[in-house]
């Protein structure tokens, strides 16, 4: 079946450094790729997304890139801050005749050390 692989599972960076999280997907019909941030004990929340007709999208310190040919997409966080510490999930959404289906990656636990 469809799956989304996410790496690394844990990432530790120094405050001010950059963090990169990578995902690959298997379903060629996937056309939308959101990223969610889950702080400790809280619900996941959408932070950024990218559609299949776009190669890169940026929102302040975070950016996402997509390589449809390779079925890769990545999240980049620059100038990391302690409040960026959380679990990040990538996801791939595909549209079918009945609606759509979203499959999540296993998550990356990011630690930003002050």
Partner 1 sequence: NAGVTQTPKFQVLKTGQSMTLQCAQDMNHEYMSWYRQDPGMGLRLIHYSVGAGITDQGEVPNGYNVSRSTTEDFPLRLLSAAPSQTSVYFCASITWDGSEAFFGQGTRLTVV
Enumerate binding residues for partner 1 (CB under 8 A). Answer: 1, 4, 6, 9, 32, 34, 36, 43-46, 49, 89, 93, 95, 98-107
- Strands (DSSP E) along 1-114, which ranges? 4-7, 10-14, 19-25, 30-38, 45-51, 56-59, 62-67, 72-77, 86-96, 99-104, 108-113
Nearer to partner 1, 50 or 77 (CB): 50
Shortest distance, CB of residue 83 to partner 1, whole angstroms? 20
Six-digit token string for 50: 């990218």
Six-digit token string for 3: 């799956």
Shortest distance, CB of residue 11 to partner 1, whole angstroms? 14
Taking the CA atoms of the chain, what radius of gyration do you get in angstroms? 14
Nearer to partner 1, 34 or 75 (CB): 34
Nearer to partner 1, 65 or 89 (CB): 89
Shortest distance, CB of residue 102 to partner 1, whole angstroms? 7
Six-digit token string for 84: 């960026």
């Amino acid at each position: 079946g469809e799956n989304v692989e996410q790496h690394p599972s844990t990432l530790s960076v120094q405050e001010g450094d950059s963090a990169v999280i990578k995902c690959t997907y298997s379903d060629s019909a996937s056309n939308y790729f959101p990223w969610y941030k889950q702080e400790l004990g809280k619900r996941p929340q959408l932070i950024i997304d990218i559609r299949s007709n776009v190669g890169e999208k940026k929102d302040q310190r975070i950016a996402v890139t997509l390589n449809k040919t390779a079925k890769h997409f990545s999240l980049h966080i620059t100038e990391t801050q302690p409040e960026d510490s959380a679990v990040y999930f990538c996801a791939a959404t595909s549209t079918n005749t009945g609606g759509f289906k979203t499959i999540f990656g296993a998550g990356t636990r990011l630690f930003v050390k002050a």
